A and B are shown apart, each in its own frame.
Chain A
Amino acid sequence: MGHLVYLALLAGCLIGTAPLEVLLHTRVYARWRRLVLALLPTLIVFTLWDLYAIQQGQWRYERRWITGVVLPGRLPLEELVFFVVIPICAILTLEAVRRRRPQWAIGDEAASSGESRDARPGPADRKETRQ
């Protein structure tokens, strides 16, 4: 059972934040395409960082607490899961803050509310629409 500790910790993070989607209607999982795209840069950059650190001997993982499923570069599977789970938790948290404090601008308001669209598009906006 010890081998599942790291995975269980990550599962706990997902389970712990799931009520935000249900109770606060954060609509993070609901907007899954945007979610997948938002996760990609973090997943790539931090996987590379992790691989570098492992290769340089900056940190290592205790076999006792991980499944032993290891990806190329000696990267434990759990690390990849970590780089997906923690960002999801962060996004859920931001959206939860938005739900509780709608008056705090985040910068993407029209998309998140889906209704309060700006009725005065500037020339730059029109240009981007055509792309």
Chain B
Amino acid sequence: MTYTVLAVLGVLGAAAVDQLVLRTNLLRRKAFWTAYAIVLFFQVIVNGVLTGLPIVRYNPHAIIGLRFVYAPIEDVLFGFTMVLVTLASWVWLGARAARRAR
């Protein structure tokens, strides 16, 4: 599978984790989208360095070819997947602890 396909599957998988598996429902929360917007801003900078120097080089056959601040557009989906999976795990653990504390 190309990076493009995997990146799209990543987003769908992360959304499924949030909505169906852990049921953290972050995708419907203002706090999540605000945090994501902040992370995305810094991701563009850090990823710009990573892909601009470049520290990481992509096989042109694995990506669609669209780039934003040096980075392939797939990196945005990769980053979103990472943030959503992480925050869903964090919030799920917190919610579980809250239920147990009652």
Contacts and interface: CB of A to CB of B under 8 A. Distances in A.
Nearest to B87: A94
Interface string B21-45: 0001110011110110011001000
Contact of A93 (B2, B30, B35, B101): B35
A72 interface: no
A62 B55 CA distance: 5
Q: For the side of the interface on B, what is the size category? A: 35 or more
Interface string B7-28: 0001000000000000011100
Contacts of A45: 85
Interface in A64-98: 65-66, 83, 86-87, 89-91, 93-94, 96-98
Contacts of B38: 93, 97
B93 to A, nearest CB: 5
A25 interface: no
B54 A62 contact: yes
Contacts of B91: 94, 106-108
Given A38-B90, A90-B35, A107-B24, A59 B55 contact: no
A58 B3 contact: yes
Interface in B50-102: 50, 53-59, 62-63, 79, 82-83, 85-87, 89-95, 97-102
Nearest to A53: B3
Contact of B89 (A13, A41, A49, A128): A41
Contact of B98 (A9, A16, A110): A110
